[in-house]
Amino acid sequence: MASAKLYFIFLLYQLLYYLHLAIAQNNGTVPVGATLTAGTNSSPWVSPSGDFAFGFHQLDEENNSNGLFLLSIFYNKIPEKTVVWYTDNKDQNPAVPRGSQVKLTADRGLVLNDPQGKQVWSSKIDIGTVAIGVMNDTGNFVLASSSSSKLWDSFTNPSDTLLPGQMMETEQGLFSRKSDTNFSRGRFQFRLLEDGDLVLNVANLPTDFAYDAYYTSGTYDSTNSSNSGYRVMFNESGYMYILRRNSQRFDLTTGRVVPAADFYHRATLNFDGVFAQYFYPKNGNGNWSAVWSQPENICDNISGEFGSGACGFNSICTLDGDRRPMCECPKGYSLLDENEKYGSCKADFELSCNGGGQGYNKELFDFHELKDTDWPSSDYEHFSPYDEVQCKNTCLSDCFCAVAIFGIESCWLVKLPLNNGRADSSVNRKAFIKYKKDDDPDPPSVPRPPDPEDKKKRKMMNATGSVLLGSSVFVNFAMVCAFVLGFFFIYKKKWIRNNPGDATIETNLRCFSYKELEEATDNFEEEVGRGSFGIVYKGVIQTTRTSTTAVAVKKLDRVFQDGEKEFKNEVVVIGQTHHKNLVRLLGFCDEGQNRLLVYEFLNNGTLASFLFGNLKPSWNLRTNIAFQIARGLLYLHEDCSAQIIHCDIKPQNILLDDYYNARISDFGLAKLLTLNQSKAIKTAIRGTKGYVAPEWFRNSTITAKVDVYSFGVLLLEIISCRKSFDIEMGEEYAILTDWAFDCYRNGKLDDLVEGDTEAMNDIKCAEKLVMVSIWCIQEDPSLRPTMRKVSQMLEGVVEVDVPPNPSPFSGYMR
């Protein structure tokens, strides 16, 4: 009987709860504890008029086999359910799988969990307790306390859209989505700066570092601060304007707008970088129409030195009738990602100077002509006066040239990657785009010269054949056996010496004679660097009959106890190891005691020269270099066929190519591990003072974590442009790792990047990088992350937790 009563009470409670939910939905209120689940029939939380709804919006229903949903606010009465707000996870796609659930909680507000119960996003209530949620008819979702105080709302946390009644303060902004159907954060920003200017700019992902603005409102007044803008307003009548500090208005909406009583209004930063205000008839008969948009011509307006432009790299931008950009790959190029039509294009052929690439063989190439087309930010040569024929021939003969631009007796050579490409009648220039004429296989990068030993073998075979022809069958058989055995024993030793490791491995390397390299380096005249195992010289080698290429020749100048093993390891490993952030090995010499390695030559030298000069390099360029080094180390540790521990990561072993991409060198001399090994037993301390992990000095096992430690030190050098150890800075500041941790612990990161305006403006990114570096230099190797985790932290894929003191027990100098 008691259990029946309890069951009845439970049913009555459930009935009252759902009745309460139904009543609440009539006035837009949502009680604490209410939930919505993606992919179920649960109704969204609707505003009183039914104009707006908060809930899960299924993405691309026709093609979405994975069942992805977006937690969002959308127009509820429009068939296509236009989204006006969505969760922004910055570094990851906010779409969640079927079965994900959002719940309104008292302590954290809105909490979104995936089907496994892991939190994906929350509204992050810092102070107060949520008593109720309200979906307003303005399109604003509000979380309020019991005293009706606003604790969080969607209007002050916008995504890519502003609605009537919404305002935007200084340093607030909108971020575009990645594409029309991909709601990951895109490249474009709409921001009201502290100085009062409203700007549109391209941002560098994942740091959100802002490139030069391609639209500015001009509402900054350096002579009268009261005349500067401080708030963007979108009033309920559908007019947008910037409110100045003196209460004057700067109108953004031009002309008259249709009445808000009959039309919906929104202003959206579109995924292609165009900011536009739209209207839509509330009776549902029509489409979204633009009232105004900026900029006038985004293809022309984006013209800064950095970034790809309105479209991706190597693409061409044109405008449609609504002043929206259209992107197209030129002939000989195709989309890097077929699903991203506004993304970058890649060349369908090799255009490289490395090792005598096809750029040297002009007969293999031709031009595709485009009128009124230009890539004005990618020029590297300018000839004038020049005619069209001269312009095309010069480009064909230049392995760096990807496009020749000709106009009015002037010729510009353009290199990859092509950025800010545009096609417009106002350009008044011709573009000649180089492409490969046929599909012939690529010639070998470094052709092997005829082996003089082959001639001796052929003579021996001919002589043997003559004898055989004049002998009996038995004698012939005996002589063949003797010849084969003799050939085997004579050449076995040489074959082994010239083919280190497994005989099935193909290294595709050129074997040089010592005399060839002596001539290539002009008797080892120009020294360009010194390493732990030898000296590096600049040289020039013949790649084809008419072409040469610069190389770096590393001469092992000392005899090591395990020298032969080290050398053979490097030849085998580097010959098979290919990654865009590793220096490429072209060949080797193994002649008697002379062991040399031949690498590609990188014109921009070492990272050390780049970092420690008189002027600090660009913050954005430095952060990109850090990411690239991390990717290169990740490849060595986890992604190549056999794990490689570098053991000497330092700025002198990072080289920069023509585009300032980081390339790791000298990794072939590191300890080689087989694929199924996880540890390397220490034999002798390797590395350079200031970068050496503590376990080298102890009776400890050496693992890939020694590289993680060195990378942490290097990352601090990249952040601060300071050497790891500099006695001239004074005893307190001499050791960079110690000083950097003190700066972080005391909240004085501005000291670490002193004088670097770009880094100061991006201090959150700087703080993240410092935190990652502190995790890397932990004294306890088990606390250090793997390079995969490091890369994920740098690129924002995973959160960076607060790091502990990296050296809680040690006081000695490393």
Q: 648, 666, 707, 756: which one is catalytic? A: 648
- Is 185 within 8 Å of 177 (Cβ atoms)? yes
| Structure-token match 């594409």, residue found | 179
555 is in an annotated binding site: yes
Burial string for 210-249 (b: 16+ CB within 10 Å, else e) reads: bbebbbbbebbbeeeeebbbbbbbbeeebbbbbbbeeeee
Give just the sign of the alpha carbon dihedral 508, 511, 512, 514.
positive
For residue 699, the 8-state DSSP code is: T
Nearest-angstrom CA–CA distance, 720 and 728: 16
Query: Is the omega angle on the peptide bond into residue 295 within 30 degrees of 0, that is, cis?
Result: yes
Q: Is 372 a catalytic residue?
A: no
Q: Determine the length of the chain.
A: 814
Tokens of 324: 């929206």
| The residue type at 799 | E
- Is 604 within 8 Å of 660 (Cβ atoms)? yes
Which residues 6+ apart lie within 8 Å of 756 measured at CB? 616, 619, 721
CB-based contacts of 187-193 (< 8 A; 24+ apart in sequence)? 187/273, 187/307, 188/269, 188/271, 188/272, 188/273, 189/269, 190/269, 190/275, 192/168, 192/229, 192/230, 192/231, 192/232, 192/242, 193/220
- C-alpha angle 186-191-196 in degrees, rounded to nearest 5: 165
Helix ranges (H only) for 437-536 are 452-469, 473-498, 514-520
Residue 131's Cβ-side half-sphere holds a number of Cα atoms within 13 Å equal to: 8
Q: Is 226 left (phi over 0), alpha (psi -120 to 50) or beta?
A: alpha
Tokens of 635: 């490849």
- Is 426 within 8 Å of 387 (Cβ atoms)? no
Tokens of 297: 């011509």
- C-alpha angle 480-485-486 in degrees, rounded to nearest 5: 95
Of the candidates 308, 307, 325, which has an alpha carbon nearest to the alpha carbon of residue 317? 325
Nearest-angstrom CA–CA distance, 747 and 175: 29
CA dihedral 543, 548, 552, 554 (to 10 degrees): 50
DSSP string, 625-680: HHHHHHHHHHIIIIISSS-B--S--SGGGEEE-TT--EEE-SGGGSPB--TT---B
DSSP string, 72-131: EEEESSSTT--EEEE---SSS---EETT-EEEEETTTEEEEE-TTS-EEEE----SS---
Nearest-angstrom CA–CA distance, 129 and 796: 30
Q: Is 263 helix (H, G, I), strand (E, B) or coil?
A: strand
Burial string for 677-688 (b: 16+ CB within 10 Å, else e) reads: eeebebeeebbb
Tokens of 173: 């902004």
Q: Residue ranges for the binding site for ATP?
A: 555
Active site residues: 648
